[in-house]
Amino acid sequence: MSEVPDVPGTPRRRARRGAGEQLRGEILTAAKDLLAETGSADAVSIRAVADRVGITSPSIYLHFADKKALLDAVVADVFATLDELMNAGLEGLDPLERLCQQGMAYVRFALASPEHYRLATTYTRAELGDVDLVMQTAAFAHFTDTITECMAAGLFATGDPTPIAIDLWAAAHGIASLIIAKPYLPWGDPEEVAYRVLRAAGVGRSISDLLGDPDPQAFAAWRSQLKAPD
């Protein structure tokens, strides 16, 4: 509700000669804030962002080629935040616990900042050049590290961690994005649902590895001769 200190009579102080970069940062945070406050991606118009910063809309184009470039920057910022949150407080945990923590941190961020999350995961990078925008993020790298450690601990078959990372990511993304998009479904406690889904993805992958990628019948036969532990 607080207005930017931009009284009509006192227009924005023009930046110093080399200080155009500073405005770029202000535009970026304004876009993020606007997204968070309105909770709607199309409320983030070039004009609305400019108003909030206290400049006119064409000034945005001095720092971002177009709206897509601005949103790309927001997306990069989201992935950076995601990495921070996913890697906080992991000290002293064993690999499997770390995996769970990282997954839950991912879902928590998604549910806490649904519109940022939706933007980051919905936006398709059109340019074919950057083959692995997401995979180059620190978040993805740290996640695959944890998976490699889980392999060493015997939870998964050893090998390339990337496919497992993608599978678990799909599970986390699936539940997070569904809760966001369909909030009226009878979810119950989102944390519990997310935990259930993540556990199922991890357990399922672990058992599939153990059984050597079984087909449905093979799994059914194996499971029918199992007994629950005491």
Q: Assess 45 for contact with DNA (CB under 7 A).
A: yes
What DSSP string describes the chain? Answer: -PPPS--TTSPPPPPPTTTHHHHHHHHHHHHHHHHHHH--GGG--HHHHHHHHTS-HHHHTTT-SSHHHHHHHHHHHHHHHHHHHHTSS-TT--HHHHHHHHHHHHHHHHHHSHHHHHHHHHPPP--SS-TTTTTTSHHHHHHHHHHHHHHHTTSS-SS-SHHHHHHHHHHHHHHHHHHHH-TTS----HHHHHHHHHHHHHHHHHHHHHHTS--HHHHHHHHHT-----
- Binding part of the chain for DNA, among 16-24, 168-176, 191-199, 213-221 by CB under 7 A, reads 16-24
Least distance CB 212 / its own copies (angstroms): 7
Residue 7 binds its own copies (CB under 8 A): no
Q: Which of 2, 5, 7, 18 binds DNA (CB under 7 A)?
A: 18
| Contact set for its own copies, span 152-211 (CB under 8 A) | 153-155, 162-163, 166-167, 169-175, 177-178, 180-187, 193, 196-197, 199-208, 210-211
Of 76, 85, 111, 134, the one binding its own copies (CB under 8 A) is 134
39 touching DNA, by CB under 7 A: no
Interacting span for its own copies (CB under 8 A) from 11-19, 26-34, 67-75, 121-129: 121-129
Residues 31, 44: contact at Cβ < 8 Å? yes
Residues forming the site for DNA (CB under 7 A): 11-20, 23, 44-48, 55-59, 61-62, 66-68
Residues forming the site for its own copies (CB under 8 A): 96-97, 99-100, 118, 121-125, 128, 130-135, 153-155, 162-163, 166-167, 169-175, 177-178, 180-187, 193, 196-197, 199-208, 210-214, 216-217, 219-220, 222-224, 226, 228-229
